[in-house]
Structures are given as C-alpha cells and as structure tokens.
Structure 1
Amino acid sequence: MNEQARIKAAINGDKQALEALIEGVRDDLYNLAVRMLWHPEDAEDATQEILVKIITKLSTFHGDSSFKTWAWRVAVNHLLNTRKRRSEQQNMTFDAMAEELDTFLAADTLPVESAVQRKLLIEEAKIGCMQAMLLCLKREERAAYVLGDIFGITDQEGAAVFEISPAAYRKRLSRARQRIRDFMNRKCGLYNADNPCRCSRRVQTNIVQGRINPDKMLFAQQGEDATVLAGIAQMDEIERSGALYRTHPIYRSPEVLHDVLAMVDNHE
C-alpha cells in the first residue's frame, strides 16, 4: 500500500493504516520535541499532543507535500505555540550561559571508578549543555536549526514546514546557525580547543545543581566516541556545530502510540 492509499484508508477508519502512518513519524516527532523542550518527559507530553492533532486533522491533508513534511508542519506549529515547559521557564540566554560556564568549571576528576560510568556522565553533560544552547534560541530559530542542521531537511521542505519562502527559511536557519557557532566558538571546548570548558569539568557542578542524576540520566545512552569527536574537530567551522549535534542519540519514542489511539477512540 503506497502512502496516499494508506492515508485514504486511515481516513476511512482503517486502524492498521493509521498505526502505520503514526509509527512512521513518531520517533522523528519525539526527537524534535526533545530538542525543542530539553526534558524528555515534556517531549513525551508534547508528542502525545502532536500525534492527537495529526490523527484528528488527517482528513485535512491534501497531498501537496509528503505526509512526513505535513507531520513536521503540524508538530512545528504546535511546538511554536505550546505553553512554556519547565526548561523554557528558566529563560536561558547565551550571556547567562556564558557566565555560568566561566564561573562553574570543576576539576577534571569524577567520583566514579567505572570507566563506562565516567563516559556516560561526560556524555550526559555534553548533551545537556548543547540542548541548553538550543533553548537560548527563539523558538522559530530553534525549530529551523533542529530541522535543518540536525535532521537535514531541504530548503524546500523547510519552507513547506514553516509556510514561508525558501529564502526566508534559509535566512532563519542561517541566523540560528550563526548564533550557535558564535557561542560555541567563544565557550565550547569541543568546538574550539582553545576554550577551557570541557564536558568532564561540568559533570560535578551539574550533579550538585541537580541537572544530572547519575542514577537516572536523561540523555546519555553510550559514552562519547573520542575518535568521532576528534574527526569533528578537524572539520570546517561551518560544519562543526551541526556535526556535534548529530552525535547525539536518536531516541526511540516512549510507548505513546497505543495510548494516543485509545485516547482518540474514547473521545470519539
């Protein structure tokens, strides 16, 4: 069954067709939400809300783009207009983040004996910090950056998602890229080795401040790969920031699919 036939079947009440459509996009939507909202629990809630909208608005899809592009559009519209979640309520700015990085750098020693645990803690610090950088962008810039530099959508797809011209999308993406690169060049040791900040020096501070729970990490799934990071360090500056973000895990979405379908069934 091709995409158009599956969509038509889903609109006509075929549950298996609907499940197949949702299964094809839910991981992408969850990963977008994680990068927009920082905390996985908030991302899970937002993903549920987005999937409900996709299911209930499916009959409005007219096939002027791919189903995935349309799903991105629904997701982005929701994430641009949703209430502020816990991490956004901190109103992060690049200036405030720079001040914290200048002030709170611990010694490069961690209170763990396991090499695996050490790598996981460093990876948790890295991902959490880079996710926080995204929160310093305006929502429109953040969404453009995540879709363009992390997920790699084209200018035409970006224009369709945001319902703007390709030139306007490129301008929005360029502005977001420049802000991320400027900050990384000034403060991030992964991007610019001349900077004193190292992920390992942020772990202890983040544990003390409650941002990292060694027993329940939010982001890290495996330790950082030193070979990969060394390769990224040799890249041109234009490519380096996006490449660093693409080292983050692609997360499997929580098992929200059946809950969402049941929710819609009960509502009907």
Structure 2
Amino acid sequence: MKAISNELIAAAQAGDQSALEAVLIGIQDKMYHLSMRVLANPDDALEATQEILILILTKLSTFRGESAFSTWAYRVASNHLLGAKKLRDRDPGLTFDLFKADLETGLVADPPAAPDEALMLNELRISCTMAMLLCLDFNHRLAYVLGDILEFDHVEAAAILEITSDNYRKRLSRARKDVIAFTSTSCGVVSKTAKCNCRSRLPAAIAAGRVRRDDLAHADARQPSYQEVVADVETMVGDLKTLKLQRSVPEPAFPQNLLAQIAGIVSLPH
C-alpha cells in the first residue's frame, strides 16, 4: 500500500471531503485484494470490500497514529472478515481431502485443444489457486494471506490480527505446512506426479460451470500466460514452488463504478 500521509489523514478526519476520497482511493485495491484472497468468491469479495471501505471511513476518527495507517486499515479489514457472520455462513467448508477428491474427478487424459485454451487454463489456474486456501479455517487463512502472499513481517501481521508474534508464527507455520503438503501432491503446476493438471481438469471445470468462456472472473490477455507461470514455478526449488504459485495470482483492481456507490453512501464527491 502506498503510504498515505499523516497530513492527508488529518484532513480527512477533520471532514475534508477531497481528503476522504483520496484515502478511499489509496486503500481500495489493497482491501479488495485481501478480500479476494480470503474469500475467493468475487461477489463475496466485492461486497466485503465495500463494507470494509465504509467501516474504515466511518472509523477514521478513531485512528490515533499509534501504528502505520496501513496496519490499522488491514486490522479493520481483518476484523470484518473474521467477524462477519454472513461471510462465515457462506464459507464452503472445504477440506484439503474434499478438494483433492474433487480435483481428481472427471479428468481427461488428452483433451482436444480449444482456440481459447490458454486463457481458459489461466482462469482455471487462478481460481483453483485461490480456492485451495478455502481449505484453511479463517484464522489460518488470514495468517497465510498476510504472511506469504502480502508479505507482512511477523510483527506487523501479528499487530493486524491483534495476537502475539509467537501465536502468529505458529498460525503461519501450520497454514504454510498444510498448503505446501497439498500442492506438492495434488497440484500439477507444482508437482509433475500429481494426478490433476490444468489441461486434464479443464473439461470438467467447464462442464461444472466453474470456468465460463463468456464470463472469465480472473484471467485476461494482459496477464502472464499460463505457460509463463508454469515455467516460473518450475524454476523454483522445493517449498518455493508453492509460494510462487500463490503469489502468481494477479492483484485485482477494485471496480470504479463501486467506488462511486461508496462515495454516495459516505457523502463523498464523485
């Protein structure tokens, strides 16, 4: 997150509408990225991000500068993601065993190539990479996202989650161990011996509606190609393959049309 100046925050706290809008613009993409990696579902992530941004703006007067503004903003976001009952109710309750069984169902050994296969493979790779984190509970999921994806150090991640550094390290270690164990045996991008690989899985994913040719939720032609990502992962050694895979998920931009809606709710100019 690009640093938001203390002067801008003070102006926003004093009710300066332009400053409030600048704060919103400065944090929106980061809050959306966090929500997407924790929730995986784009609709849920959009809704959660809108709620987080409104919470940040309505709670802005309570920010006292005792930590970095980014730490405070991520704390507000994390508390919402952990505490919102509707998000917990919508969580699919996946486990790594269930996800593995699903991935290994309906595989096609040598599927015919489609004209748009490269883009479809990227869509499948991204959605599957995000979905595997749903096999972690919310506490371990957030610890993993903050540490291994967003690259917060242990002290700041612990401050965001309002736990001790020792407890944070334990959560991250457990989450990391589980994700690595899964990808090293069940993800064809990471492991050559895994039953599932994206090309074999694609026909079943299309049939199940998880990848839609006319409505790609994550992939577009501006991103590194599927083959480029696979090649990058192959250059890594051991556990770094899993880390490279998870960090290869593109960071989404918060939709500008939704920014206008939030601006209306909090009476910002737009």
Seen in structure 2, the aligned counterparts of structure 1 residues 126 and 86 have a Cα distance that, compared at 3 Å, is: farther
Larger deviation, residues 233-242 vs 203-212 = 233-242
Counterpart for residue 130 of structure 1: 129
Counterpart for residue 14 of structure 2: 12
Larger deviation, residues 84-93 vs 199-208 = 84-93
Counterpart for residue 197 of structure 2: 198
Superposed displacement of residue 88, structure 1: 4.4
Show CA shifts across 1:87-109 (max 9, x none).
94432111111112222212342
Equivalent-residue separation in structure 2 for 1:101 and 1:189 (angstroms):
10
Residue number among 18, 22, 25 corresponding to 2:24 in the alignment = 22
Contact 1:125 1:200 in 2 (8 A): no
Counterpart for residue 167 of structure 1: 166
Equivalent-residue separation in structure 2 for 1:144 and 1:154 (angstroms):
11
Contact 1:88 1:135 in 2 (8 A): no
Contact 2:4 2:69 in 1 (8 A): no
Superposed displacement of residue 228, structure 1: 4.0
- The residue correspondences of 1:26-45 to structure 2 (distance < 5 A) are 26-45=28-47
Equivalent-residue separation in structure 2 for 1:86 and 1:105 (angstroms):
31
Equivalent-residue separation in structure 1 for 2:261 and 2:31 (angstroms):
16
Counterpart for residue 247 of structure 2: 246
Unaligned runs of 5+ residues in structure 2 are none
Residue number among 63, 82, 88 corresponding to 1:61 in the alignment = 63
Contact 1:39 1:218 in 2 (8 A): no
Show CA shifts across 1:194-219 (max 9, x none).
11311111111011111111100111
Seen in structure 2, the aligned counterparts of structure 1 residues 8 and 234 have a Cα distance that, compared at 3 Å, is: same
Contact 2:52 2:80 in 1 (8 A): yes
Alignment-mate amino acid for residue 128 of structure 1 = S
Superposed displacement of residue 237, structure 1: 2.0
Counterpart for residue 81 of structure 1: 83
Show CA shifts across 1:154-199 (max 9, x none).
1111011001112211111111110100111121111111113111
Equivalent-residue separation in structure 2 for 1:260 and 1:170 (angstroms):
36
Equivalent-residue separation in structure 2 for 1:244 and 1:87 (angstroms):
28
Alignment-mate amino acid for residue 169 of structure 1 = Y
Equivalent-residue separation in structure 1 for 2:66 and 2:200 (angstroms):
49
Seen in structure 2, the aligned counterparts of structure 1 residues 234 and 57 have a Cα distance that, compared at 3 Å, is: same
Unaligned runs of 5+ residues in structure 1 are none
Counterpart for residue 215 of structure 1: 214
Alignment-mate amino acid for residue 231 of structure 1 = D
Seen in structure 2, the aligned counterparts of structure 1 residues 39 and 2 have a Cα distance that, compared at 3 Å, is: closer
Contact 1:110 1:204 in 2 (8 A): no
Alignment-mate amino acid for residue 63 of structure 1 = G
Show CA shifts across 1:10-29 (max 9, x none).
01111111111111111011
Equivalent-residue separation in structure 2 for 1:199 and 1:238 (angstroms):
20
Counterpart for residue 236 of structure 1: 237
Superposed displacement of residue 32, structure 1: 0.9
Larger deviation, residues 8-17 vs 77-86 = 77-86
Contact 2:55 2:76 in 1 (8 A): yes
Contact 1:37 1:87 in 2 (8 A): no
Show CA shifts across 1:3-62 (max 9, x none).
111111101111111111111111011011111111212111100000110000001111
Equivalent-residue separation in structure 2 for 1:7 and 1:90 (angstroms):
38
